[in-house]
Amino acid sequence: MKQAGTAQSGRPSPLPGALWGSPPQALGDDTEDVSLDLGGEEELALRKAQIRHPLATFFHLFFRVSAIITYLFCDWFSNSFVACFVTILLLLSFDFWSVKNVTGRLLVGLRWWNQIDEDGTSHWVFEARRVSMIAASTEAEARIFWLGLIICPVIWTVFFFSTLFSLKLKWLALVIAGISLQTANLYGYIHCKLEGQKSIGRITSRFFVTADVPKRQTRISDDCIEEHGKTGTR
């Protein structure tokens, strides 16, 4: 009768080998705790997907593309050579100033300029900003910046040879001005990029040197202990 009563009760029978009062144990070890680095994924998605400076991105291409279009179709707009010459030169000047002082700093975190010291010596300064990934430019902005910076001087170089071979010498000075202004920005930002990579390399080497110092100290202390032990045994 007691066995029947216990069988009809609603209490579950204990697991084989389990002890009363012991904490419950997991039935299987198939699951693992995995830490998800959601912050890194969010930063990577933000870096790839968004254009954080749309106005700077627009004006980075606007002046230089407008100068090229005006050069190609200036005869449709005006018959005055002087008006076309001045318009294209102004667009090239605006492009040089905006790329050098605004768009390079915002889109890729680079900046260059010429500095004159008190003694009159002139030297070039190239800077690369050190910021976190979330505050840096996105990949789309950097791609637009470098493509516009490289392709447009190539186009003006093609204009130079076409003007030279077609004997349109009155446009030669304008084309040379376009090549000079846009190549100067390209040269400056390439140097900024190289200087930034050198600074990162120096920081990395310093980090490894400082990380290796405790290991060297422990080696020296172990050697001293061994030497002291040898002298003690003698």
Give per-residue pLDDT as tens, 53-90: 899 999 999 999 999 999 999 888 788 899 999 999 99
Residues in contact with 191: Cβ distance below 8 Å, sequence separation at least 6, in sequence order: 112, 124, 126
- Identify which has the larger pLDDT, 58 or 213: 58
Instruction: Name the more confident of 145 and 18.
Output: 145
Q: Which amino acid, residue 142?
A: A
pLDDT mean over 31-42: 44
Which pLDDT does position 18 carry in this prediction? 42
pLDDT at position 221: 52
Question: What average pLDDT does the structure give for the chain?
Answer: 74
Residue % of the chain over a pLDDT of 90: 38
At 2-27, the pLDDT tens digits run: 444 444 444 555 544 444 444 444 44
pTM above 0.85, yes or no: no
Interatomic CA distance for residues 136 and 145, integer angstroms: 14
Give the least confident one: 60-69, 85-94, 102-111, 133-142. Answer: 133-142
Q: What pLDDT is attached to residue 15?
A: 45
Greater confidence (233 vs 61) lies with 61
DSSP-derived secondary structure for the chain:
-HHHHHHHSSPPPPPTT--TTSPP--S----------HHHHHHHHHHHH--S-HHHHHHHHHHHHHHHHHHHSHHHH-S-HHHHHHHHHHHHHHHHHHIIIIIHHHHTSEEEEEEE-TTS-EEEEEEE----TTTS--HHHHHHHHHHHHHHHHHHHHHHHHHHHTT-GGGHHHHHHHHHHHHHHHHHHHHHHHHHHHHHHHHHHHHHHHHHHHHHHHHHHHHHHHHHHHHHH-
Sequence length of the chain is: 234
Give the pLDDT of residue 161. 95
More confident residue, 210 or 141: 141
pLDDT of residue 167: 86
- In this structure, of 86-90, 147-151, 171-175, 213-217, the range with the lowest mean pLDDT score is 213-217
Q: Which structure tokens are listed for 41? A: 């994924």
User: Would you state the structure tokens that stand for residue 116, as one six-digit string?
Assistant: 């004159």
Contact 88, 70 (CB under 8 A): yes
**Res 52: pLDDT:** 87
> What's the confidence (pLDDT) of residue 64?
95
Q: For residue 42, what pLDDT is reported?
A: 55
> Quick one: pLDDT at residue 58?
95
If one compares 52 and 136, the residue with the highest pLDDT of the two is 52
CB 72 within 8 A of CB 156: no
